[in-house]
Homo-oligomer: A and B are copies of this chain.
Amino acid sequence: MSLLLKGGTVVTHEMTFQADVLCDNGKIVAIGQSLNAPDGAEIRDVAGKLIMPGGIDPHTHMQLPFMGTVAADDFASGTAAALAGGTTSIIDFVIPNPGQPLMEAYHQWRDWSAKAMANYSFHVAITWWDESVHADMQTLVEEYGVNSFKHFMAYKNAIMATDDILVASFSRCLELGAIPTVHAENGELVYHLQRQMLSQGMTGPEAHPLSRPPEVEGEAAHRAISIAATLGAPIYLVHCSVEESVDAIRYAQNKGQHVYGECLAGHLVVDDSVYQDPDWDKAAAHVMSPPFRPKKHQDALWQGLQAGTLQTTATDHCAFCTAQKAMGEDDFTRIPNGTAGVEERMAVLWEKGVNSGKLTPNEFVAVTSTNAARIFNIYPAKGSVTVGADADLVVWDPDASKTISAATQMSNIEHNIFEGMQVTGLPVLTICNGNIAWDNGTLLAKAGDGKYIDRPAYAPYYHALQKRRQLATPVPVVR
């Protein structure tokens, strides 16, 4: 099926120009002035609208089994929300239980994700270590299109990866041309502070941020970066939420290290005052890790995006409804950690980024789509508007407005961390694999329309890493 977008303005991560865009058979086949529509093509007039690469959310957790329950948005409802927000691809996570074979977990998640409406891929978490893990990493990279592995530095006594595991796994990533990613929080400190808070009678959501202060994240960010630097591996930090993380990334980048940083739409605009809400449900709805932070950290994150210190924006979409949150009624450490956002990410970024002059529209495209595609080596198939690329597009109306509300969202939960925010700049058409998946309020995609994204190893930055490694081979002194 062909689709012709006529009269729009193409906005890529580096330029803006008037052009029609023709999609056919899931690909972009022509970009130019006054294109002719092939027979049978659907033609959409997008004059005054912006045609941009569909959003890529590199951090979601659909139907995640976590803390004794399962995230409320599954791969169908979650990707429906994504499409409604202009996002055409997500990278979710396979998280094996400690001891569980990686391949088993991987296949489990592939089963769950079969019903996805948007495109998807998986980071695989390294939650334990033995020879089978070492071997399965190779299988995943070489046979299953996985080029990134995730490490949780928090969650002691559960999925926490200690330094020995980090060293082993980062080394293995380097051998395979993959990129290690980390959730950076010092698990020992979190554990200590959680115990301390509870012992002081602090049981409510207001204790949550106190158990995970900024230094806890900054420490782990710096540690992961240093371990990667020592080994010569690249590194990607998910959900950076504090100035300390941005500083740590910048410090390493300025030494020539290949470090990449992600931040969440939520951390960019929501602050820690939410935990003081006298309504327990509302406060608990915001419990996620890392927690929302004092306002000054928002400035640091925005500046990180502006300066290129941070490259990507994500959501960590992991939706729990009010009843699930209530599992931690008497003990904040039992509140399931997670918030949603995959539907709102792009609108929030446009409103607070572009409309404020913090980001250009091109930079918006970079941080919502292209940069993720480049880092995870699926560019230019994803993240670009070029002939030959996958026809994953969002048509954006910079003048459309709405007020974000749980009442009107796609997600299966009763709350929204952006509740009440006025945004100007919204998707009007989301095109996934060449098909209109979401049309100005109407979801057209069906479960299973999403495709699995193979991500090849050895992204372009590996060229330099391999040169350096080769030049660094040690030589004994002749004596």
Q: Residues on A close to B: CB < 8 A?
A: 14-16, 163-164, 166-167, 171, 186, 188-189, 192-193, 197, 200-207, 210, 213, 215-216, 218-219, 222-223, 226-227, 229-230, 247, 250-251, 253-256, 275-280, 283, 296, 302-303, 306-309, 354-363, 374, 379-380, 386-387, 460-461, 463-471, 473-474, 476-479
Contacts and interface: CB of A to CB of B under 8 A. Distances in A.
Closest CB pairs A-B (n = 10): A357-B467, A219-B226, A357-B468, A163-B188, A256-B306, A360-B463, A253-B307, A215-B229, A215-B226, A206-B477
A360 B464 contact: yes
Contacts of A15: 379-380, 460
A463 B386 CA distance: 23
Secondary structure type dominating chain A contacts:
helix
Given A474-B210, A476-B201, A479-B278, A256 B218 contact: no
17 contacts: A163-B186, A163-B188, A163-B189, A167-B188, A193-B230, A197-B474, A213-B230, A216-B230, A218-B226, A219-B230, A222-B222, A222-B226, A250-B250, A250-B307, A254-B309, A278-B477, A357-B464
A11 to B, nearest CB: 10
Contacts of A359: 464
B479 A255 contact: no
B189 A227 contact: yes
Nearest to A203: B476
B256 A206 contact: no
Nearest to A275: B477
Nearest to A247: B251
A220 to B, nearest CB: 9
Contacts of A471: 356-357
Nearest to A189: B230
Copies in the complex: 4
A306 B254 CA distance: 7
A265 to B, nearest CB: 18
Contacts of A186: 163, 223, 226-227, 230
Contact of A188 (B164, B277, B279): B164
Contacts of A203: 476
Nearest to A363: B464
A45 B255 CA distance: 40
A186 B354 CA distance: 31
A166 B192 CA distance: 11
B163 A276 contact: no
A210 B476 CA distance: 11
B283 A477 contact: yes
B16 A460 contact: yes
B302 A256 contact: yes
A131 to B, nearest CB: 16
A164 B192 CA distance: 8
Contacts of A277: 477
A189 B167 CA distance: 7
A408 to B, nearest CB: 28
A245 to B, nearest CB: 12
Contacts of A354: 467
Contacts of A477: 204-206, 275-278, 283
Contacts of A216: 226, 230
Contacts of A355: 467
Residue from A218, A251, A464 having most chain B Cβ neighbours under 10 A: A464
Contacts of A380: 14-15
Residue from A164, A387, A463 having most chain B Cβ neighbours under 10 A: A463
A207 B197 CA distance: 46
Contacts of A302: 256
Contacts of A226: 186, 215-216, 218-219, 222
